[in-house]
Structure 1
Amino acid sequence: MDSADTPDRQPAPTPEEDHRLTAEELAFLLRDPAERARDAERAARSNRNRTERRASDPDYAERLRAGDRERQRRRRMRDAIGRPEPQEVPAVPLPDLSEAQAAERLATHLDRSASAQAAQLRRQPDRIRLYAEAFVAYRTLSSAGARPTRGALATLLKSRFGRSLTPSQIQKLRDHVEGFAMPGGPWEAAAPPVRRRGAAKADMRRHASQAGKA
């Protein structure tokens, strides 16, 4: 057969060619060890400086955390491409209470509790007010039946109550609201109205006084 009729064939690569290093790999291996050591020292020094500044500068630390959150958000968005939309988590039902009524129920619940956490919260009226505000925000946003997102809660708490909270604080607030709405809690949807012990004693004294006058 004429050699012109045979197809051209590339010679098989030799074992040496199969393991040929790329230009980047060669550049890395040929670098001066002293230069690699200097680069490692610069990186370590940069990390130390960043750690020290994070500890001494709250604004800088918050910027770093914000950058981390943004990178995580972008990574989640990339990972979510092509995935089906997650199902909405239903909201925990809450009773129809005003902010003041929600705070009153919570305060009454804490008065009746003997736990150390309740005793601590009783000494923090602003904390009780924050929980009541979170109750109102949660109930407002869950009117359609879906659990409010942290972002929506943060926005409403900021616009309506002037509260600026971090995502982790919003997460804890949402968990507390839902926890207080569990059976036996102060915000259980089916719970009957409750009155604080001080109010009940005042009523008893008033009734006794009226009976004495009669």
Structure 2
Amino acid sequence: MNGKKFGYIRVSSKDQNESRQIDSLLNIGIDERDIFIDKLSGKNFERPQYQLMKRMVRQGDILYIHSLDRFGRNKDEVLNEWKELTKDMGVDIVVLDMPLLDTTTHKDSLGTLIADLVLQILSWMAEEEREKIRTRQREGIDSALKKGVQFGRPKVPVPNNFVEVYSEWKQGEITATAAMKRLGLKRNTFYKLAKEYEKTLVQ
């Protein structure tokens, strides 16, 4: 295989563990300049470094990623992006923590079928887990409000869209500053509401 090796890393804005992913890519011989890193949400593929990497890869090249959830979290978009890279552009993909998701070795029809099935299952699981987290957070604050739990002192009105915005912030999809702006809250008030809400999740 004469293709060039590329690596892609995604971490959320609050996650600082990209060094582990970088080490795993360097250890398999990928040049540091060919490793692309985004500190953004995985909800879609509109990420600057990912799009730059995509413009640089050519047919026969190999893209290495640490795990599928680092690639993306939206099931349909992950499947579409995988198909575009492997089928349309002729780029191989290797998922380091899932040997079955290695298009360089599974070239026959059975191998391709197994890889496709694994990809769909893992993509679905990642999206389901993300939705479960959102649902638990939404149910938690609803339950807290019904019990008369007060958020902060003095009493602070809880914005109607607090759960939605809080969830996006917690998942790393938006920054705390962006969350405060959407909610119309000051920094101290925002974090106070967040802490009070998080207490309800573990009760």
User: What TM-score, normalized to structure 1?
Assistant: 0.21
The structure carrying a bigger helix percent of its residues is 1
